[in-house]
Amino acid sequence: MSDVIAQATGLVKTYPPRDKRSAPFTAVDGIDFTLQRGEAFGFLGPNGAGKSSTMRMIACVSPPTAGTLRVLGLDPATDGRRIRARLGVVPQDDALDSELSVRENLLIYGRYFGLSTRLIDERATQLLDFAQLTDKAAERVDALSGGMRRRLTIARSLINEPELLLLDEPTTGLDPQARHVLWDRLFRLKQQGVTLVLTTHYMDEAEQLCDRLVVMDGGKIVAQGSPAELIAKHATREVLELRFGIGEQAAAVEKLRQARTGDRIEELPDRLLWYTAEGDAALAAAHALGLTPVTALVRRASLEDVFLALTGRTLVD
Ligand SMILES: Nc1ncnc2c1ncn2[C@@H]1O[C@H](COP(=O)(O)OP(=O)(O)OP(=O)(O)O)[C@@H](O)[C@H]1O
């Protein structure tokens, strides 16, 4: 079996104008990627970067405008049905049937794939257990919390035992605890050999789940690698975050620039970031320069810093 599960070269998605006054819009602008079987691969980027458009092309529900795309060794343009039968898709909106019970949602979905009643029944029981929803099986979907709905949507996407699971922003809108439960379930799936492809604008999610990822911005890939590789390449080991009193940040930045530390300083509206190998030493240097921050925090560099270095913007506004 090939190790490559999907591959794109020069992939483009251009949408037609929404109305007479607007122009066509290129949401995905010539991207290349190779997804390996068994890995968790992420598309990280802010809203509008083109992540969902890319996912919809991989899911064979939106045809590419240009470039080549192969999924499971097949061409989505001609083999969409065959590919979709081997995919699991978790869309941004849960799209569950709120009139039906939790279990019925799984059963109905299984029928789309033409599975036998016995098999669907068997898998529904296993998937409810996997999604930690066994005790909710008879409840209507509208009684579920956001986290439970997401878990049910993931369970539903697994009914056909997919080789490749596509997740579009799996934890957007969930509280921290619900996100952690979901990460744990996704991690288990990966251990079972399911290839995961996800989009996210949360850098902690990308760091937790992804073996490799691409960073997207404005329809293009601006960097790719493992989270650790990206951080090593585009950030420093540590970051010193300094917050100043109202109106004091500009003067502090000026002082730091004059001190010529050689380190990169980023100004955000509410704080400044000092990229350095040794955060504590940088803080001592700041004090020695006479700076008096209201708060000072030394932390490990993250993918958020990578994105900021590459685009000059933060991931989540
Ligand atoms: N059917 C469409 N017609 C025209 N423009 C579209 C269409 N779908 C998406 N777009 C535009 O393409 C751009 C990329 O959208 P896409 O949904 O792929 O981005 P994204 O990175 O997934 O962001 P989000 O997190 O908001 O989903 C956006 O500016 C969006 O408005």
Amino acid 203: pLDDT? 86
Residues 214 and 243 grouped into a single domain: no
Residue count of the chain, please give it: 317
Mean pLDDT computed over 196-207 = 91
- Name every residue whose Cβ is closer than 8 Å to that of residue 287 and which is 6 or more positions away in sequence: none
Q: Are 111 and 120 in contact (CB under 8 A)?
A: yes
CB 46 less than 6 A from any atom of ligand 1: no
Residues 154 and 295 grouped into a single domain: no
Question: Where does a domain end: 195, 226, 257?
Answer: 226
Using the predicted structure, report yes or no on whether residue 87 has a pLDDT greater than 90: yes
Whichever domain contains 259, its CATH number is 3.30.70.270
Mean pLDDT computed over 297-304 = 93
Question: Where does a domain end: 173, 208, 226?
Answer: 226
Mutate to test the pocket of ligand 1, among 19, 51, 61, 167 (most ligand atoms within 8 A of CB): 51
118-to-107, 110, 123 alpha-carbon distances in Å? 10, 11, 9
Q: What number does the ligand 1 atom closest to the CA of 54 have?
A: 18
Amino acid 241: pLDDT? 96
Confidence of residue 59 (pLDDT cuts 50, 70, 90): very high
Report how far ligand 1's centroid is from the alpha carbon of 108 (Å).
30
Q: Does residue 317 form part of some domain?
A: no
Using the predicted structure, report yes or no on whether residue 80 has a pLDDT greater than 90: yes
Residues 288 and 207 grouped into a single domain: no
Question: What's the rounded Cα separation, in Å, for the pair 49 and 33?
Answer: 16
Report how far ligand 1's centroid is from the alpha carbon of 192 (Å).
32
Amino acid 46: pLDDT? 86
Q: Does residue 36 form part of some domain?
A: yes
Report how far ligand 1's centroid is from the alpha carbon of 52 (Å).
7
Question: What's the rounded Cα separation, in Å, for the pair 289 and 281?
Answer: 12
* Interval 121-151: pLDDT, tens: 999 999 999 999 999 999 999 989 989 999 9
Using the predicted structure, report yes or no on whether residue 84 has a pLDDT greater than 60: yes
Mean pLDDT computed over 73-81 = 95
Report how far ligand 1's centroid is from the alpha carbon of 251 (Å).
40
Question: What's the rounded Cα separation, in Å, for the pair 104 and 83?
Answer: 25
Using the predicted structure, report yes or no on whether residue 316 has a pLDDT greater than 70: no
Report how far ligand 1's centroid is from the alpha carbon of 302 (Å).
26
Q: Are 299 and 239 in contact (CB under 8 A)?
A: yes
Residues 8 and 47 grouped into a single domain: yes
Residues 196 and 127 grouped into a single domain: yes
ipTM, two decimals: 0.93
Question: What's the rounded Cα separation, in Å, for the pair 125 and 118?
Answer: 11
Q: Does residue 199 form part of some domain?
A: yes
Amino acid 178: pLDDT? 85
* Interval 4-36: pLDDT, tens: 999 999 999 999 998 889 899 999 999 999 999
Closest residue by Cα to atom 29, ligand 1, is: 48
Amino acid 181: pLDDT? 87
Mean pLDDT computed over 278-294 = 93
Amino acid 259: pLDDT? 85
Q: What is the mean pLDDT of the chain?
A: 92
| Count of the separate structural domains present in the chain | 2
CB 53 less than 6 A from any atom of ligand 1: yes
Range of the domain at 292: 236-300
Amino acid 317: pLDDT? 56
Q: Does residue 312 form part of some domain?
A: no
Amino acid 95: pLDDT? 85
Using the predicted structure, report yes or no on whether residue 302 has a pLDDT greater than 70: yes
Residue 312's φ and ψ, nearest 5 degrees, are 75, 10
Q: Which two tokens stand for residue 105?
A: 């949602």
Using the predicted structure, report yes or no on whether residue 2 has a pLDDT greater than 70: no
* Interval 211-255: pLDDT, tens: 999 999 999 999 999 999 999 999 888 999 999 999 899 999 999
